[in-house]
């Protein structure tokens, strides 16, 4: 069992994920009591976590850094909570707390579910607003437009949503969550079924990306962000740790080139920390890795090599521009 973003696995059963998130939304009209307001909210997102990594990427692509502050827990957590062990004194400098659990308990002293990241906290009260990671990034695109940088890309184009939503749903069920279904399967039968579903989906994605640069065509969208955070962790942890080992990402020519293309695009690669990723999975998941030993490999130097995807054309940011380099 792990509390990483609501992960639950009981030996002898198929892996299931607790998806009962806090669904309060921060919106332009404030209909849930939380209006869009620069400086009021703090995003807590661990670089190690793929679900949190999405929010870091989208925040950067849209230029919301000045509107929404970012707190980063360390790569590991105990059974109760992620902790701010990367900050001086182990305390988040804005919220003044040592554990994300404190913000959840401020929201509900009897909060019954997993203490997950990403999460948005209302700085004025110290209480959690939402941990609904899938909605958070969509709201960054659609509700926070007043604070988007000039040239911010449209990551959730209205004219593509009817096609895009099913693509993202399949990426979630078969790939993002599919690797976890393999890793935390409680029986051989559950693992075999999860493994088959994962590779059917990866083959489908390879075919889709063979003739177009991005999942929805010529420009990056939210769908690419969601797939990227799984692909970038694939060889480092999922191939071995989660037994997703038909092929390494580096042995899948189309997906490997696609992932490198995104990694080298401003807003993506600089959000990735392979050391934190490996430390998280191999140290926290003691049910899968009792020793807590973090492997030295694999060699991850290839992420900056030429990918050749430019030959497919496309404009990564559509009518927009790349985010400015990090300071």
Q: What is the pLDDT of residues 176-218, one digit of tens each?
A: 999 999 999 999 999 999 999 999 999 999 999 999 999 999 9
User: pLDDT tens digit string along 152-172?
Assistant: 999 999 999 999 999 999 999
256 is in an annotated binding site: no
Give all strands of the β-sheet with 41-44 in edge-to-edge order.
69-71, 41-44, 119-122, 127-130
State how far the Cα of 133 lies from the Cα of 21, in Å rounded to an integer.
Answer: 8
Q: For 161-312, which CATH class?
A: mainly alpha
CATH match for 7-147 among 3.40.30.10, 3.30.1330.200, 3.30.390.30, 3.40.630.40: 3.40.30.10
Q: Where are the domains of the chain?
A: 7-147, 161-312
Q: pTM of the full predicted structure?
A: 0.96
Q: What is the largest CA-CA distance in the chain?
A: 55
State how far the Cα of 206 lies from the Cα of 201, in Å rounded to an integer.
Answer: 9
H helix runs in the chain, sequence order: 50-62, 100-107, 133-142, 161-170, 178-183, 188-209, 222-233, 239-241, 253-263, 274-279
- Reported as half-sphere exposure (CB side, CA atoms, 13 A), residue 181 has a value of 20
- Find the angle CA(103)-CA(80)-CA(77) to the nearest 5 degrees: 95
User: pLDDT tens digit string along 232-282?
Assistant: 999 999 999 999 999 999 999 999 999 999 999 999 999 999 999 999 999
Using pLDDT thresholds of 50, 70 and 90, give the confidence band for residue 15.
confident
Share of the chain above pLDDT 70, in %: 96
| Catalytic residue IDs | 49, 180
């Amino acid at each position: 069992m792990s509390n990483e973003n609501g992960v639950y696995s009981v030996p002898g059963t198929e892996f299931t994920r607790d998806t009962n998130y806090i669904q309060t939304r921060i919106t332009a009209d404030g209909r849930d009591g939380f209006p869009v307001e620069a400086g009021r909210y703090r995003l807590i997102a661990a670089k190690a976590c793929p679900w949190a990594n999405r929010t870091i990427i989208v925040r950067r692509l849209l230029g919301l850094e000045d509107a929404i502050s970012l707190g980063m827990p360390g790569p590991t957590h105990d059974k109760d909570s992620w902790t701010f062990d990367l900050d001086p004194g182990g305390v988040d400098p804005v919220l003044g707390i040592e554990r994300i659990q404190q913000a959840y308990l401020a929201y509900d002293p009897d909060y019954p579910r997993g203490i997950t990241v990403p999460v948005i906290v209302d700085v004025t009260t110290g209480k959690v607003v939402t941990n609904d990671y899938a909605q958070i990034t969509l709201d960054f695109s659609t509700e926070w437009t007043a604070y988007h940088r000039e040239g911010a890309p449209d990551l959730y184009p209205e004219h593509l949503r009817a096609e895009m939503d099913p693509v993202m749903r399949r990426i979630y069920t078969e790939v993002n969550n599919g690797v976890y279904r393999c890793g935390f399967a409680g029986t051989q039968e559950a693992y075999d079924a999860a493994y088959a579903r994962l590779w059917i989906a990866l083959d489908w994605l390879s075919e889709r990306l063979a003739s177009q640069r991005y999942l929805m065509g010529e420009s990056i969208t939210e769908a690419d962000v969601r797939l990227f955070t799984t692909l970038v962790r694939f060889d480092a942890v999922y191939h071995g740790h989660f037994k997703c080992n038909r092929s390494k990402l580096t042995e899948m020519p189309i997906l490997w080139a696609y992932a490198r293309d995104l990694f080298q695009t401003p807003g993506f690669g600089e959000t990735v920390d392979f050391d934190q990723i490996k430390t998280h999975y191999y140290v926290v998941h003691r049910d899968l890795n009792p020793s807590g030993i973090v492997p030295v490999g694999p060699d991850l130097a290839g992420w900056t090599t030429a990918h050749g995807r430019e030959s497919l054309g496309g404009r990564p940011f559509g009518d927009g521009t790349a985010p400015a380099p990090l300071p």
